[in-house]
């Protein structure tokens, strides 16, 4: 993903760096097929989908085992035990079609993450530059304050010297 040359991905990163929220930038630059791949990836990656597959498998195998082994039920086994050839065919077709589609969806989600990371990096760079500017300003203020303190001491010493020269005791805080 890093350094992707896909125009839509580059457009999303450019929009995010221009100030568009990265989530919005990525969503605006998805094609219809991209949206379909993400929708399938989001649905297949849920516990609900897992439970559907487990239930379907248990029903398929359970029915065919009972139909094959318990003749008193008078059920017809459409995929006889122990081979389950039809089940293997159907489940393999589902796996073969879902696997690349899920990979495409994961790639799109990774590009989305990359756009967010790029936006975060740009924000961090700006924050670092702002922090450096603040530190430089604080350092300049420290220097100015030290100069003011030095001038105050000089003025105070001068006032003490004038007061002592006129025969009056020096007053004020001692330096």
Assigned domain for 170 exists: no
Q: How high does pLDDT run on average in the chain?
A: 85
Domain contains 42: yes
Which has the higher per-residue pLDDT, 49 or 23? 49
Residue at 54 is within a domain: yes
Residue 48 lies in a domain: yes
DSSP state letter for 46: S
Instruction: With respect to residue 52, please indicate whether it lies within any of the assigned structural domains.
Output: yes
- pLDDT given for residue 174 in this prediction: 55
List the alpha helices (DSSP H) in the chain.
7-17, 22-28, 32-44, 47-69, 85-165
Q: Report if pTM > 0.85.
A: no
174 belongs to a structural domain: no
Boundaries of domain holding 69: 7-165
22 has a pLDDT exceeding 70: yes
CB 109 within 8 A of CB 41: yes
Residue 175 belongs to some domain of the structure: no
pLDDT of 122: 83
Cβ-in-10-Å burial (0-12, 13-18, 19+) of 22 comes to: buried
pLDDT of res. 138: 97
Asked whether residue 1 is domain-assigned, the answer is no
Q: Tell me the mean pLDDT in the region 9-33.
A: 77
Total domains in the fold of the chain = 1
């Amino acid at each position: 993903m890093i350094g992707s040359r896909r125009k839509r991905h580059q457009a999303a990163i450019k929009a995010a760096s221009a100030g568009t929220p990265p989530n919005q930038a990525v969503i605006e630059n998805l094609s219809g097929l991209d949206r379909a791949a993400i929708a399938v990836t989001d649905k297949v990656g849920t516990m609900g989908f897992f439970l559907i597959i487990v239930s379907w498998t248990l029903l398929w195998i359970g029915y065919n085992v009972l139909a094959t082994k318990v003749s008193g039920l008078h059920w017809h086994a459409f995929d006889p035990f122990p081979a389950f050839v039809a089940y293997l065919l159907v489940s393999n077709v589902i796996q073969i079609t879902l696997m690349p589609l899920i990979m495409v969806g994961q790639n799109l989600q990774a590009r989305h993450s990359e756009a967010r990371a790029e936006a975060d990096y740009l924000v961090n760079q700006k924050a670092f530059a702002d922090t450096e500017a603040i530190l430089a300003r604080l350092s300049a203020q420290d220097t100015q304050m030290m100069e003011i303190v030095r001038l105050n001491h000089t003025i105070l010493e001068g006032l003490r010297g004038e007061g002592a020269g006129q025969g009056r005791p020096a007053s004020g805080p001692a330096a």
